[in-house]
A = this chain, B = another copy of it.
Amino acid sequence: MASLAALNSNLFNGGCLWKYQDELKVSKAGKLRIRVTSMASSSPAQSLQFADGKANKLDKLRVGVLGASGYTGSEIIRLLRNHPYFQITLMTADRKAGQSIESVFPHLVTQDLPNLVAVKDADFSAVDAVFCCLPHGTTQEIIKSLPTNLKVVDLSAVGIQLQDIAEYEEWYGQPHKATALQKEAVYGLTEISRREIQSARLVANPGCYPTSVQLPLIPLIKSNFIEVRNIIIDSKSGVSGAGRGAKEANLYTEIAEGIHSYVPEIEQGLSEAANSKVTVSFTPHLMPMSRGMQSTIYVEMAPGMTTQDLKDHLGNYYEHEEFVVLLKNKEVPHTRHVRGSNYCLMNVFPDRIPGRAIIISVIDNLVKGASGQALQNLNLMMGIPENLGLGCLPLFP
């Protein structure tokens, strides 16, 4: 309990590590329940459909951004600039209420956007959908209080994602405040749960770590290409995942030209783990870069499998996906090759240890790891092409 609270407040407050705890669901028993429940019914390779009537009728859909003064909030704004059907009509930021967005994010000075308001003063009758980018703690009650006709994508630190209410209370030491929401929420790993997302009103958006890990692993686990034991995940994250809060640990002088991992905080209280079904080793590292995430995943292949088998399976699984790309040959995914874009690049490599393979996946933690996937999900929920607003290519160099 204490360790998680410390993690939250010290390291990744409002960021995406917190989400990892939640979504990969490492319970006290040390189990990882990778979410495979929805996969049976999902159809990852289906082609995109345009729900013609729906979108055409829109003047523009009115979108609210709750928590617009953080990095995921500003990233939503950036992406919506190029969206043909969505228009931001509401932005909240309690501590910045009354200010213009350019006073908070000067790079948005050219945009004509509403001023920031406090959540309590927001007029939710003026929006059709909201992105919820609020910090942990406040999210549940706010989402619960929203008009039920609103579509909601929740990017918050924790929010509504835990399926198991009892487990929530165990983790957070307080009763879950939105158990009904909990049951309604669909986990928004788009390529894995597309069908459920299309009909959802409320989507719990995955964090950056889970996205980078689950996109390659779920197809392989589901089809028994790899063992569920001894999965070792060495993840490297850019600093923006830690949010915009002023913390000594995230100062330029404390981050530039060096790296470190977060092992001990995460592992506190977990070392007694045993008897798990799926247990992973997960070590996040903080990199001197603003954006980007790489997960280097060391797996044990199922008997008889080769790295080519794994590769072929992932290639087939994501063949028709626009945003998940299996690289060819021995090409190595680089984080800089997805910067600013919604892509996830991955590839599989032989390990020197017989029977093992190395999987590398990269995303931009703020796009496919947060706001980009959130937009992809809202597109699906509104019945319009899921790639709208996501056409920016990576910014390199």
A317 on the interface (CB 8 Å rule)?
A: no
Q: How far is the CA of A307 from the CA of B230 in the complex (A)?
A: 17
Stretch at the interface among A138-146, A184-192, A211-219, A292-300: A292-300
CB <8 Å contact, A354 and B274:
yes
Instruction: Give the distance to chain B from A287, nearest Cβ to Cβ, in Å.
Output: 6
Instruction: Give the distance to chain B from A91, nearest Cβ to Cβ, in Å.
Output: 15
Q: How far is the CA of A336 from the CA of B259 in the complex (A)?
A: 7
Taking CB atoms, residues of chain B closer than 8 Å to A82 are 82, 391-392
Taking CB atoms, residues of chain B closer than 8 Å to A2 are none
Cross-interface CB contact of A263 among B264, B292, B332, cutoff 8 Å: B332
Taking CB atoms, residues of chain B closer than 8 Å to A78 are 393-396
Contacting B at CB under 8 A, from A69-113, are 71, 74, 77-78, 81-82, 105-111
Give 1 or 0 for each of A268-308: 1 = CB within 8 Å of chain B CB: 10110110100111110101111110101010000000010
Q: How far is the CA of A385 from the CA of B297 in the complex (A)?
A: 44
A58 on the interface (CB 8 Å rule)?
A: no
Stretch at the interface among A152-160, A197-205, A249-257: A249-257
CB <8 Å contact, A263 and B349:
yes
Beta-carbon nearest neighbor of A105 in chain B: B396
Instruction: Give the distance to chain B from A341, nearest Cβ to Cβ, in Å.
Output: 8
Instruction: Give the distance to chain B from A362, nearest Cβ to Cβ, in Å.
Output: 8
The DSSP consensus for interface residues of chain A is: loop
Instruction: Give the distance to chain B from A274, nearest Cβ to Cβ, in Å.
Output: 5
A30 on the interface (CB 8 Å rule)?
A: yes
Q: How far is the CA of A347 from the CA of B354 in the complex (A)?
A: 28
Q: How far is the CA of A392 from the CA of B389 in the complex (A)?
A: 10
Taking CB atoms, residues of chain B closer than 8 Å to A394 are 78, 107
CB <8 Å contact, A261 and B296:
yes
Q: Given known contacts A71-B397, A395-B340, is B353 in contact with A110 (CB within 8 Å)?
A: no
Taking CB atoms, residues of chain B closer than 8 Å to A283 are 296, 358
A258 on the interface (CB 8 Å rule)?
A: yes
Q: Output the residue of A81, A270, A281 with the most chain B CB within 10 A.
A: A281
CB <8 Å contact, A256 and B258:
no
Taking CB atoms, residues of chain B closer than 8 Å to A332 are 260-264
Instruction: Give the distance to chain B from A67, nearest Cβ to Cβ, in Å.
Output: 15
A246 on the interface (CB 8 Å rule)?
A: yes
Stretch at the interface among A43-51, A126-134, A236-244: A236-244
A331 on the interface (CB 8 Å rule)?
A: yes
A265 on the interface (CB 8 Å rule)?
A: yes
Beta-carbon nearest neighbor of A244 in chain B: B248
Instruction: Give the distance to chain B from A77, nearest Cβ to Cβ, in Å.
Output: 8
A319 on the interface (CB 8 Å rule)?
A: no
CB <8 Å contact, A292 and B395:
no
Q: How far is the CA of A335 from the CA of B260 in the complex (A)?
A: 7
Instruction: Give the distance to chain B from A387, nearest Cβ to Cβ, in Å.
Output: 11
A333 on the interface (CB 8 Å rule)?
A: yes
Cross-interface CB contact of A327 among B109, B257, B270, B271, cutoff 8 Å: B109
Q: Given known contacts A109-B337, A298-B281, A332-B264, is B327 in contact with A258 (CB within 8 Å)?
A: no
Q: How far is the CA of A246 from the CA of B296 in the complex (A)?
A: 28
A residues contacting B by CB (< 8 A) are 26, 30, 71, 74, 77-78, 81-82, 105-111, 229-230, 232, 234, 236, 238-240, 244-248, 250-265, 267-268, 270-271, 273-274, 276, 279-283, 285, 287-292, 294, 296, 298, 307, 322, 325, 327, 329-340, 343, 345, 347, 349-354, 356, 358, 360, 391-397
Q: List 23 A-B pairs, Cβ < 8 Å.
A: A74-B396, A82-B391, A106-B337, A107-B334, A107-B338, A107-B394, A109-B325, A109-B337, A239-B253, A244-B253, A247-B251, A256-B289, A258-B336, A258-B339, A260-B333, A260-B334, A264-B330, A267-B358, A268-B330, A270-B350, A271-B351, A287-B287, A288-B289
